[in-house]
Amino acid sequence: MTSETPYPALEVLDLTMDFGGLRALNAATLHVKGGEIVALIGPNGAGKTTFFNCITGLYHPTEGDIFICPPGKQRERINGLKINAVTERGLARTFQNIRLFQNMTVLENVMLARHCRSSSGILGAVLRNRKTRLEERDIVRTSFAILEKIGLADVVNLPAKNLPYGAQRRLEIARAMATEPFLLLLDEPAAGMNPQETRELEGLIRQIRDQEGISILLIEHDMKLVMSLCDRVTVLDYGQKIAEGTPREIRENPVVIKAYLGEDI
């Protein structure tokens, strides 16, 4: 479990994002404490992915503050940082649509993600000096260890495109893990999975939190998964936070039920 800090691992305050005349996020607030699994839910178009894009440096929010507090480190405001700088600080994400190098092997996909933690640089890669060679060996070893934990050790040499859908989603999580995050953001990890794959995914996410001490924020439409996996749930509607609470509180909240009217919660 992540060691306690006086601040949440992630604290987002009054986040607003305008796209021209469209306000996709309107003073949305959310926090994830160290070691928590939190869900961000809401009807289609509520602003969930925009929220992730702001946190991870893909978009620069119009207003608001984003603070992180990795275990054992100082609290830091990360607004305006570029994607790589956010990743270096220990935030990793997966995307709604699978983004793998389909013709590369499973191991190569993870190794590539791992390179963000290497220090040899381009010159080192060209000269292939001793430091680079040692580092490369370390990248292979670490990438393999991650794939073992994720349950993909027996397919390391297969091209990513040959994996079943559920395994491709797990590989995306392995790539995110390779950057050594303290906080993992998962954008609809169960999308397109069959019930068996979803059950396995639930076990994997729990394992990542319990064994690696990584805090997790996930966007998910599969309410059964959200209700059984998450410690807390935050609900967005039209870019605003309309509710926050335990899964049970959220399930019984009339404001949430109204927002989802016509959708299956």
- Residue 19 touches ligand ATP, criterion: CB under 6 A: yes
Inter-residue contact 9 to 183 (CB < 8 Å): yes
Q: State the nearest-atom distance from the C-beta of 118 to ligand ATP, in Å.
A: 32
Q: Quick one: 45 or 80, whose CB is closer to ligand ATP?
A: 45
Q: Which of 187, 167, 189 is nearest to 105 (CA)?
A: 167
Q: How far apart are CA 236 and CA 184, in angstroms?
A: 19
Query: What SS3 state is found at 259?
Result: helix
Q: Pick from 4, 6, 21, 22 the residue near ligand ATP by CB under 6 A.
A: 22
In the numeric block, which tokens belong to residue 236? Answer: 């967005």
Q: How far apart are CA 178 and CA 181, in angstroms?
A: 8
Q: Quick one: 50 or 120, whose CB is closer to ligand ATP?
A: 50
**Listed ranges 17-25, 145-153, 191-199, 205-213: which one lies at the site for ligand ATP (CB under 6 A):** 17-25
- Residue 97 touches ligand ATP, criterion: CB under 6 A: no
Q: How far apart are CA 188 and CA 239, in angstroms?
A: 18
- In the chain, which residue ranges form alpha helices assigned H by DSSP? 48-55, 83-88, 106-114, 121-127, 130-150, 165-177, 195-212, 223-229, 247-251, 254-259
Number of residues that bind ligand ATP (CB under 6 A): 11
What is the bridge-based pairing of β-strands 37-41 and 215-219? parallel
Contact pattern for ligand ATP over residues 34 through 73, marking x by CB under 6 A: --------x-xxxxxxx-----------------------
Q: State the nearest-atom distance from the C-beta of 83 to ligand ATP, in Å.
A: 15
**Listed ranges 19-27, 195-203, 243-251, 256-264: which one lies at the site for ligand ATP (CB under 6 A):** 19-27
**Listed ranges 18-26, 83-91, 122-130, 131-139: which one lies at the site for ligand ATP (CB under 6 A):** 18-26
Q: State the nearest-atom distance from the C-beta of 260 to ligand ATP, in Å.
A: 12
Site residues, ligand ATP (CB under 6 A): 19, 22, 24, 42, 44-50
